[in-house]
Structure 1
Amino acid sequence: MSLADVVSTARDALTVKRVFGEPYEKDGTTVIPAANVTGGAGGGTGHDEKGQEGEGGGFGLSGRPAGVYVVREGRVSWRPAVDPNRVVTVLGLVLVAFLLSRPRLVRARAAVGKWEMLAARRAARRATGAGHEDA
């Protein structure tokens, strides 16, 4: 595939129909699906030691549902798509972060408790007039 073919094919693939699906209507409600589409392309030419030339390239597209526009009684509303894989991934990352930080939180709370206890002892000694003896 030549570079011109790659560019032409990529241009044909990157249309608004990749983002917005065909609207459909039922019972006076029109639904227009939408997606997030990303893509990339690359190519190049070159010569080898024998003087032979070559060129090549490629492109790729990726899409995931974003949601739908709902048109009903002259009003348009957006209904986002919920990706269960993304929800589970985010919840898993939050859980891992909590479990990794928990030992530090426990140590920090214990240290704060220790300092509060020492401050309370000092205050009690001052109040009772005790010397440098531990209470």
Structure 2
Amino acid sequence: MHTPSTSAAATSLPERLAQQLGSSVSAQTIYGTPVERDGITIIPVARAIYGFGGGGGSKANEGEGSGGGAGVALTPIGYIELTDGKSRFRPIRSSVVPLVAVSGLVALLLLRSVPKVLRRNL
């Protein structure tokens, strides 16, 4: 039977989650592997958001329990362009605004056609 070491037993669940999560997010994760083509070097850049949580409790006559979880979200935000000894950050534009505009237009056209369909069916 394996028993945890004293240092591992003294480490709380949130501390263990933070250690594991912290080791998975590194500079290499945020700044991807550079790609070079035709004298231009591109370095991808991402935003990392991570969180963790844990909890536990007990209730008389119902037992006790604990749990925890962690997560990482990586979102590409742009790239660094290296050309002729100069660097420039180039953001990736979000496509949410055009999507909302198109969705709104489609919804408007659908709503305008509802009375016509209802009049035809009466």
Task: Please give the TM-score of this superposition, normalised by the length of structure 1.
Answer: 0.56
Residues 1:90 and 1:36: Cα distance change in structure 2 (over 3 Å): farther
Q: Matched residues, percent identical? A: 33
Shift of 1:31: 0.6
Q: Does 1:91 align with 2:122?
A: no
Of structures 1 and 2, the larger Rg is shown by 1
Partner of 1:38: 49
Partner of 1:118: none
Q: Does 1:27 align with 2:51?
A: no
How far apart, CA to CA, are the structure 2 residues paired with 1:48 and 1:18? 42
Task: Please give the TM-score of this superposition, normalised by the length of structure 2.
Answer: 0.61
**Residue segments in structure 1 that go unaligned for 5+ positions in a row:** 100-135
Q: Does 1:78 align with 2:89?
A: yes
Secondary structure of 1:69's counterpart equals strand
Q: Structure 1 or 2: larger helix share?
A: 1
Cα deviation, 1:25-64, whole Å, max 9, x if unaligned, reads 1222111000122121111232232485433211112122
What are the residue-to-residue correspondences of 1:112-123 with 2, within 5 Å?
none
2:60 to 40, 49, 52: 49
Partner of 2:69: 58
Aligned length: 95
Residues 1:14 and 1:83: Cα distance change in structure 2 (over 3 Å): same
**Residue identity in the other structure for 1:65:** P
**Residue segments in structure 2 that go unaligned for 5+ positions in a row:** 1-11, 109-122
Q: Structure 1 or 2: larger strand share?
A: 2
Shift of 1:22: 1.1
